Structure 1
Amino acid sequence: MSSRTARRAQVGAVAVAVGISVLAVLLVLAAWRNDRTIESDMGTATAEVLSAGSLRSAVSFVTPDGVTHNPKLGVLYPTNLTAGQRIDVEYSRADPDLVRVAGRDARVAIVPAGSVIVVTWLVALPVLLVLRRRARSDGSGSS
């Protein structure tokens, strides 16, 4: 491996790790922004869980004006829900499709995002060390 190729591989590995880390941080910031939007004009309701998954759960709830809402993107922070369950939700009255499980907020996104960042760097650092060793051994062998 030429030193130029090794350098490019190192830069690529760092770029991927930094990119994944930035995306994880952006995920938490987006959750925080959604929470601020909900809290700025909050409505509450009891919702029925239509389907439940670890990443997306569909809910249906009725707002005080009698309109039934079934947010396309599901409910925020859907862990530990089961289909048929009735839960309290908090939603943005300005945008009832923005809804979260009552009592949950962006703090529940911190641990998963932090875990993604830690695992990313636990993989990236050994890769960088291997690439660095290869670059050194190839550089010393070609002198």
Structure 2
Amino acid sequence: MLSSACQDTIRAAVWLSTKPAGEFHRIHIISEELGLPFHFLAKSLQKLVHAGILISQRGATGGVTLARSPSEITLLSIIEAVDGTTFFDACVLGIGDCEAEKPCALHAQWDIWRQEMIEMYSAMRLNELVDDLLLRKIKRI
């Protein structure tokens, strides 16, 4: 459902959440650690910088770091920064004319699921995923 770029960006944000606050990490190190393509990850992380989720710094000690505590960063904020809101606004079947006045066959059910997903992503914060990682509920990011 989420784009692979968004999934990879969430993984990178979780990885950054496991590091000391304010410590900058080079994107090529993050991409190597997570096995992600550098150029795609760099573009996605730049979107998080523009959204105020990350801070970037140039130079020998540069890289990226979280702009605020992982407990203050929701998955929805990352999703919106990387994928935008079109997933939550568009018809689940991709029908261009589907809307409340002219709904497709799945429109009513999709509205319920869409709202539940927005609430779920709004409630889930990066620190909760880090907790799951530390408790080994998640094997790897």
Give the alignment's TM-score, normalised by structure 2: 0.27
Q: Which has the higher strand share?
A: 1
Give the alignment's TM-score, normalised by structure 1: 0.27
Larger Rg: 1
